[in-house]
Structure 1
Amino acid sequence: MAEAHQAVAFQFTVTREGIDLQLSHQALTEIYLSGVRSWKKRIIGLKNSVITGVYPASPSSWLFVVIAILATMYTRSDPSMGLIAKIQEHLPVSQSMSTQCQTLVSAVLFSTMLWLLLIFTMRMCLKKLLSYHRWMFEKHGKMSNTTKVWVALVRIFSGRKPLLYSYQGSLPNLPVPAIKDTVKRHLESVRPLMDDRQYEHMTKLAAEFESSLGNRLQWYLKLKALWSTNYVSDWWEEYVYLRGRGPIMVNSNYFGMDFMYVTPTPIQAARAGNSLHAFFLYRRKLNKEELKPLLLRSAVPCCSYQFERMFDTCRIPGTLTDTVQHWQDSDYIAVYHRGRYFRLRVYQAGRLLSPREIEFQIQRILDDPSPPSKGEAKLGALTAGDRIPWAKARVKYFSSGVNKRSLDCIEKASFFVSLDDDEDGVTADDPASLDSYAKSLLHGKCYDRWFDKSFTIIYFKNGKMGINAEHSWADAPVVSHLWQHALSTDCFQLGYNAEGHCKGEVDSSLPRPQKLNWEIPPECEEQISQSLAVAQALAGDVDLHVFSFQDFGKGKVKKCRVSPDAFIQMALQLAYYRDQRRFCLTYEASMTRLFREGRTETVRSCSNESSAFIRALEGGEAAHVCRRLFHEAAEKHQHLYRLAMTGAGIDRHLFCLYVMSRYLGVESPFLKEVQSEPWRLSTSQSPMHVEMFDLVNHPEYVSCGGGFGPVADDGYGVSYSVLGENILSFNIACKLSCTDTSAHAFGAQIRKALRDLLQLLIPNQTEFKTEEKRPEAKKDL
């Protein structure tokens, strides 16, 4: 129990001579260093706030303006046109201040106001410039003169060396599309899904809505857009994520995968040591805002606000709605292993533990023989089941005493870590190993993850790892940046020694990880069992198939002068039609981070053009006709994608109109019909941050990206990644309870559709490979 003594700053005993204080030097040192670290963070935060607050100018530019004004005054000219004299007249001064000193103070005040005015003007100019989106609709490689001038102006007004949040005040607000445009595009998107009678009915509902209730709802939305930073994001977070009362496991949380063909070390604790150190290096960069903001075309900034709640964040259950709580920087992680929960501090004496020291601490947890407390082993199932029972149990059993302290420790941790006793990952002689690996990351055993945490890192016994992320606080591209940064740092910067252990030395005097204590009453155990049953039923119904497609990649697709994303979306449309013999409403996620606090918008990939192409191809039309229709469909898809990114999408607008109608207590048959339309094919591209990896020299360092559960009971969820020039990967999910869907059958249809489309576009294409081969490394690390 040495660590317990170190946690107490002093002890005292009462003797005949009085009170004897026994001060703990180590504990007091820890308190002092913790305070120093906290103040350093505050100073860095204050400095970054100043730099971001005056961006695109810099704090040093204030001195330049002051010197310039004083130099001009020295030549006996008045650059202020009398304003400095006016300031001097109204300056509250003491009699001891000379006239020359009063003039100097007045000049500095005028210079400061001029400097602030220049900052405001530059920021407004940049905001106006960033509202221009015609560049996105120009053909790749062909830039108009207007766009060239615009790019030059953006770079002039953007300043130098931006921090992560520097552009936030200059980003435009998301515009509210016109009602008539949204209604028109919605009708166009549902035309291939409806027969003439259904479409005529929808057209009548749309016309009635547009001419009556729609205008009233639109007025309220425009008022909200003027008042709020983003008229969609707060409602989207609340109503799509936080008010859902069903399980977030499978239904909301998503996962990311490790390298497919490489396991840097087979030692579980060592892999945890390096990667956990990498996560905290990332957090340090995040706190200092040293991460570069995402720039499209190297000039156009994207919103970074989602990064703010990455660490030290947890979703808190409620009976009506959940909340997302974010705490100050914590210096520990919560760790789960064999039914026990531990608190592991990653800072010692104010410094971040080295990878070798974290490995040492993780190994201590793995070697700890203590059994779980009564009811502790499957406690995490509460976060996997329905939200209302979890909210009630949290209030009843975890609001005081030892349970509250232990729960606080988990919820306020930097993030959650699960040490798995199973071995998982890609096995050469077992094609299904990738599927079971993905399912483990998606839901595990339903009690060995803490699904409410912003993200959970899972370490398997054979050194493989993965991530499971909660969705309400941010979207996948933000988590993907963190995840791929950690993978890259782990392998290419930190590395391992010849035995597979982390590099460096160990301070064996480190206090042991603290095991959390629980007092779980029988009634709470019953609730845990009920939540676990719900979660296991949900997890057991997931049919998940993951595969890498290595016949060709984006390199060959681009030779066809087609966007890789449009090519894949057309393949998915073709595969779905062949699988189901019908078209369906298709969801493709697109970002709206060109606007402040932007999140996502929907691209409705099933269009009149895509359905016309598929009918022609399946109907045996001539190849040249099919090629023409394919290019029309691909161009239409890209146009819809650009509209979504530039704030002219339809689904978020329709969603907000529906929410507003509910606030006003009015019924809209049109909006009710729109909201009831099922997304039987839900798709998303997992981004690959290629700048973090050298896929030319190390093609084996690729991942299968990530994935998510099925959205509709009778539909598919498909996540795909474009990995370098030659590999595509797919994660397909559906429900076993639906007899009309099969993840493996749909995967086979996707493979066939990809090959058929390339064969159509390049008729002389040689025979495809029939098996997926493992990339060979060109050189050792």
Structure 2
Amino acid sequence: MKKLTRPRLPVPGLRSTLDKYLKSIQPFLLEDEAKTGVSYDAAHDQRVKWAQEFEHGIGKTLQSRLDDLNRASPHNWLEDNFWTNCAWLDGRSPLPVNSNWWLALFNDDTVPLDARQHGPNWITPWQVRRAAWMTHRVLEFKERLLSQELHPNTTRTGLWVRDSTSNMFNIARVPRTNRDTISTPPPPSNPTSRNVLVMLHNQLYAINAYPNSEDVHLPPAHLERALIDVVNDAQARLDRDEETAPVGILTADNRDVWAKNLEHLLSLSSTNHRIHDIINNSIFLLCLDPFTHDASSNQATSSPISVDTPNEINSHLHNIRSGGINGQNRWFDKAFTLILESNTRAGAQGEHAPCDALVPSIVTEYACVESIDSSAFPEDIQTSLEGRVGPRSDGLASLPWERLDWVVDDHIRKECIEAEMRATELLADSDDAVLWFDEYGTQWIQSVTRLSIDAYVQMALQLAFYRIRGEFSATYETALTRSFDRGRTETIRSYTTESRAFVLGMQDPSVAATTKFNLLSQAVRAHTSLTRLAATGKGIDRHLLGLRLLLRSEELEDTSGMLLKDELFARSQEWKLCTSGLSAGSYFRGTGFGAMYPDGYGINYMSGPDLIKFGVESKKSSPATSTAELHQEIAQALRDMQSVCLQGMPAAQSHM
């Protein structure tokens, strides 16, 4: 069957983008008029004039350059030239919280409850078994994808998944001064391409998951045996008080600082060059945490845990996000990392630059959708619910694995200490928690209101934010441009004239329920239209970004025209609300990413039939934000919106 191809991402028409931009700033102008008395009409007319000047002046030149660049780009004018650098690799902030995404998975019910309730401060047998099983599942996904057993390239979804996962495995972000790079995936013939990287107690190991074939990985029992060997080796080193510098903590630092430290580290020995290559080339990273994190005490705990309580779930989320409280036992540059705590809690995190979080979430869901299959492990392998993993006589030969020992000096040791101090401060400021709203979900929204689910949730976020702050904010929602070759994302500007009218109507007790429902419906329709435009390559922000980046400052073009210098141009992109919907999240306890602004929120949500989960991150240092307060307002907004729908919908619709 003939392989499908995906179309190229279009370059939108300049006039079309300017018209959509002018519409997007209308709610800001209306709010300015209401609060400061500045005439909406005068302010709007001024922006229309600037847009016309831009269209017929420098904008025309920039659009021509963008068209030329598009023709010269092999795949995608945005991704080939701008996006990855501007959105991710140019950033100098530490990766934890600021750039990396995180997913906390549901527990495996085949693991005895007693093991899930206790997290001794060392690696546990059930932790190793679940790690081996999930590693097997990830490798199985990768193999089935390559063989086209999953997501064949005869479908557009298959093309997108296969192209995207190629940016998830055998790859990592590499620090460089001013702008990072992404490592080049090794060819299958390179032995390091077959490794699964393992990290525990800040020690690194490489396990050859494909010692006999490039196509078939080690079975789960053999992976478990290899992990046991690694755990025993790490324990023996600790028993001998051997020094292990926590080099991984350097990846949690400012990117320029890490770039400088990596350069020094590589200068010390060719061994370090080889280790760094192995890290970058490995399929993915598996972190075995020798502890279970407790958010209430902000430390490891060996006390009994109340499973599936809010504190327990948030404790899990915090550890997946950042390695407990100090960023230890992680290599944040790696594109995909599986993490298991000593009580078998599992999750994933990764670096955003190579691919967006939806892609690894698909892989991670596959990894945990099937519980541990006991038949995949020899019957005579016994696991103890207490104590450490120990040597076992199970008939399995020792398998190929390698300990990776850095060559370090006093400078690197000192930098590790200082990097940990900075990481601890960064993580302490991150106010990260998940809200499980279980009063209704997509089933009720879809069957009763007949409104777009995603737009409905976005309106709840608009209402909740306004109730906390008494003001509106530019709002970013991620739209996928997956139908295009190498398509990634576009911005949905969720703050609209219609959403503003809906929020103000909800705040006015004199407005009738029927009117409020009509305002909600209008806001939802406006948002749905913007979503459709963004997903089909007709959004605003990526086009404007491309135009701005083609300005030639040496020709003083950056001083031409007022449109791009308008303070409202910048304000309309200050995403104090940065949001993204994922999937229904049936296998995820919580998700998250960091706020874009110190006084903003990062919100990832998963809308299920009867449960909507909101992962919210903000900064404790900001007096303007509170994750707990936003949780409360989101829940209340959803209750109030349901009430408005039930009271204000037309009678015929409410009885459908």
- TM-score interval (norm. to shorter): 0.7 to 0.9
Q: Which residue of 1 aligns with 2:85?
A: 238
**Cα offset for 1:375?**
6.8
1:546 is aligned with what amino acid?
V
1:668-692 superposed Cα distances (whole Å, 9 cap, x missing partner)? 5433443463100010011248xxx
1:406 is aligned with what amino acid?
I
Q: 1:420 aligns with which of 279, 283, 289?
A: 289
Q: 1:763 aligns with which of 640, 647, 656?
A: 647
Alignment of 1:548-697 (within 5 A): 548-559=436-447, 560-620=449-509, 621-661=511-551, 666-667=557-558, 669-672=562-565, 673=567, 674-675=569-570, 677-688=573-584
Contact in 2 for aligned 1:255/1:442 (Cα 8 Å) = yes
Q: Which residue of 2 aligns with 1:276?
A: 135
Unaligned runs of 5+ in 1: 1-54, 57-165, 690-700, 766-781
Q: Distance in 1 between matches of 2:382 and 2:52?
A: 67
Q: Choose 577-586 or 366-375, whichever is displaced more.
A: 366-375
Q: 1:345 aligns with which of 182, 194, 208?
A: 208
Q: Distance in 2 between matches of 1:262 and 1:494?
A: 16
Is 1:484 aligned to residue 370 of structure 2?
no
Q: Could you say if the C-alpha distance between residues 434 and 203 of structure 1 is closer, same or farther in structure 2, counting changes exceeding 3 Å?
A: farther
Unaligned runs of 5+ in 2: 116-125, 295-304, 385-392, 650-656
**Cα offset for 1:279?**
1.0
Contact in 1 for aligned 2:221/2:378 (Cα 8 Å) = no
SS at match of 1:629: helix
**Cα offset for 1:360?**
2.1
Alignment of 1:181-580 (within 5 A): 181-194=16-29, 195-196=32-33, 197=38, 199-200=43-44, 202-228=47-73, 229-234=75-80, 235-259=82-106, 262=109, 264=111, 266=115, 267-292=126-151, 302=160, 304-325=162-183, 326-329=185-188, 330-350=193-213, 352-368=217-233, 369-371=235-237, 376-399=244-267, 400-424=269-293, 427-428=306-307, 430-444=309-323, 445-491=326-372, 507-511=395-399, 513-559=401-447, 560-580=449-469
Q: Distance in 2 between matches of 1:755 and 1:662?
A: 51
**Cα offset for 1:507?**
4.5
1:352-376 superposed Cα distances (whole Å, 9 cap, x missing partner)? 2221221222223333323479774
**Cα offset for 1:397?**
2.0
Q: Distance in 2 between matches of 1:489 and 1:507?
A: 26
Q: Distance in 2 between matches of 1:299 and 1:519?
A: 45
**Cα offset for 1:722?**
1.6
Higher relative contact order, chain-length normalized (CA < 8 Å, sep 6+): 2
Contact in 2 for aligned 1:303/1:594 (Cα 8 Å) = no
Q: Distance in 2 between matches of 1:403 and 1:261?
A: 37
**Cα offset for 1:310?**
1.9
Q: Which residue of 2 aligns with 1:121?
A: none
Aligned alpha-carbon RMSD (Å): 2.9
Contact in 1 for aligned 2:110/2:372 (Cα 8 Å) = no
Q: Distance in 2 between matches of 1:702 and 1:762?
A: 31
1:172-206 superposed Cα distances (whole Å, 9 cap, x missing partner)? 11111122221222222222223144844644543
Q: Could you say if the C-alpha distance between residues 494 and 467 of structure 1 is closer, same or farther in structure 2, counting changes exceeding 3 Å?
A: farther
**Cα offset for 1:262?**
4.4
**Cα offset for 1:430?**
4.4
Is 1:174 aligned to residue 9 of structure 2?
yes
SS at match of 2:588: coil
**Cα offset for 1:500?**
8.7
1:453-495 superposed Cα distances (whole Å, 9 cap, x missing partner)? 1111111101111101111111112111111111124457977
Is 1:702 aligned to residue 587 of structure 2?
yes
**Cα offset for 1:289?**
3.5
1:596-638 superposed Cα distances (whole Å, 9 cap, x missing partner)? 1110001011110011111111112011111111111101110
Q: Could you say if the C-alpha distance between residues 494 and 470 of structure 1 is closer, same or farther in structure 2, counting changes exceeding 3 Å?
A: farther
Alignment of 1:160-171 (within 5 A): 166-167=3-4, 170-171=5-6
Contact in 1 for aligned 2:221/2:376 (Cα 8 Å) = no
Number of aligned residue pairs: 586
SS at match of 2:634: helix
**Cα offset for 1:512?**
6.3
Contact in 1 for aligned 2:515/2:648 (Cα 8 Å) = no
2:445 is aligned with what amino acid?
V
Rg larger in structure: 1
Q: Distance in 1 between matches of 2:48 and 2:433?
A: 39
Contact in 2 for aligned 1:171/1:595 (Cα 8 Å) = yes
SS at match of 2:20: helix
Contact in 2 for aligned 1:263/1:463 (Cα 8 Å) = no
1:268-300 superposed Cα distances (whole Å, 9 cap, x missing partner)? 00001100011111121233233215999x999
Using the size of structure 1 for normalisation, the TM-score is: 0.70
Q: Could you say if the C-alpha distance between residues 467 and 357 of structure 1 is closer, same or farther in structure 2, counting changes exceeding 3 Å?
A: same
1:370 is aligned with what amino acid?
A
**Cα offset for 1:594?**
1.2
1:729-749 superposed Cα distances (whole Å, 9 cap, x missing partner)? 110000011011000100010
Alignment of 1:27-176 (within 5 A): 56=2, 166-167=3-4, 170-176=5-11
Contact in 1 for aligned 2:211/2:400 (Cα 8 Å) = no
Q: Distance in 2 between matches of 1:263 and 1:463?
A: 11
Q: Which residue of 2 aligns with 1:82?
A: none
Using the aligned pairs only, state the percent identity: 31
Contact in 2 for aligned 1:293/1:302 (Cα 8 Å) = no
SS at match of 1:432: helix
Q: Which residue of 1 aligns with 2:390?
A: none
SS at match of 1:704: strand
2:314 is aligned with what amino acid?
D
Q: Distance in 1 between matches of 2:158 and 2:350?
A: 28
Q: Could you say if the C-alpha distance between residues 729 and 294 of structure 1 is closer, same or farther in structure 2, counting changes exceeding 3 Å?
A: farther
1:295-328 superposed Cα distances (whole Å, 9 cap, x missing partner)? 99x9997574222222111111111321112123
**Cα offset for 1:592?**
0.6
Q: Distance in 1 between matches of 2:146 and 2:508?
A: 58
Q: Distance in 1 between matches of 2:627 and 2:154?
A: 36
Q: Distance in 2 between matches of 1:415 and 1:528?
A: 23
SS at match of 2:197: strand
Q: Distance in 1 between matches of 2:394 and 2:408?
A: 36
Contact in 2 for aligned 1:576/1:746 (Cα 8 Å) = yes
Contact in 1 for aligned 2:316/2:345 (Cα 8 Å) = no
1:697-747 superposed Cα distances (whole Å, 9 cap, x missing partner)? xxxx63234211111110111100022x21111100000110110001000
Q: Distance in 2 between matches of 1:623 and 1:515?
A: 66
Contact in 2 for aligned 1:386/1:534 (Cα 8 Å) = no
Contact in 1 for aligned 2:177/2:255 (Cα 8 Å) = yes
Q: Choose 643-652 or 430-439, whichever is displaced more.
A: 430-439
2:250 is aligned with what amino acid?
L
Q: Distance in 1 between matches of 2:211 and 2:163?
A: 30
SS at match of 2:550: helix
Q: Distance in 2 between matches of 1:280 and 1:536?
A: 33
